[in-house]
Amino acid sequence: MKTWNKIPIKDNKEKLITIPNCFKFFSPHPYHDLGAPYNGEKEIWKLREEVVKRLIKVNEYLKSINDSFYLLIYDSWRPVEVQEFMFNRAFSLECDKLGIETSMKDFKRYPLVQKKVEQFWAYPSVDKRFPPPHSTGGALDITLADKYGNIVDMGSNIDQMDEKSKPDFYKNIEREDAIIFNYRRNLLREIMLEFEFVQHPNEWWHFSYGDQLWAWKNKKACALYGKI
């Protein structure tokens, strides 16, 4: 459980809606393509209504300050079943890297692996008090693209589980490519924060509005969105 999971939730019952096609999307959808258990295409590329409204404003703002880049949406709402699939996959891949032969039945026997995975993947809890952020419809993974829709190099891949994924990793590195990566990350953060999104502390690509992390960072009494 994260610190922000202590924030109570009073779901305002906003609907999930499909993200409009004025955005660029990562294609094919990265998790659907891996076999994650979505209930067909209809469950992909959705967010809460207010989140979509704010994201449209972010998109317009980016065009006004830097027309070299475009928003590219990597992932949005996830059913808890998808979160579980991806969490288990991340745990298995990390175990493989360490030469550990195990299964999810042995998950709690490897607390250090568990801790690392949970820095980047929320535990797929079904407890309504602390839902995975993406399962609330308030969180999304987003990056920058060029005019052709190609993903821009941000200094680490989305879902890369190491220090390079922290938003400020390149802040004090004077190397030329590091300065470029830091500029791009700062630009993404600036445009998202301008419209009241908050950024995950371990992931330069993860932003949310209305969930427990958002409420915690903004010192709100409660979150607006629970599991949906």
Per-residue pLDDT of 156-199, as tens digits, reads 999 999 999 999 999 999 999 999 999 999 999 999 999 999 99
Task: Identify which of 144, 126, 137, 159 has the alpha carbon closest to the alpha carbon of residue 209.
Answer: 137
* pTM, full prediction: 0.95
> Could you confirm whether 94 is annotated as catalytic?
no
Six-digit token string for 131: 């839902």
Per-residue pLDDT of 42-87, as tens digits, reads 889 999 999 999 999 999 999 999 999 999 999 999 999 999 999 9
Q: Which domains does the chain have, with CATH numbers?
A: 3-217 (3.30.1380.10)
Q: What angle do CA 66, 143, 64 make, to 5 degrees?
A: 20
Which residue in the list 14, 50, 94, 203 is annotated as catalytic? 203
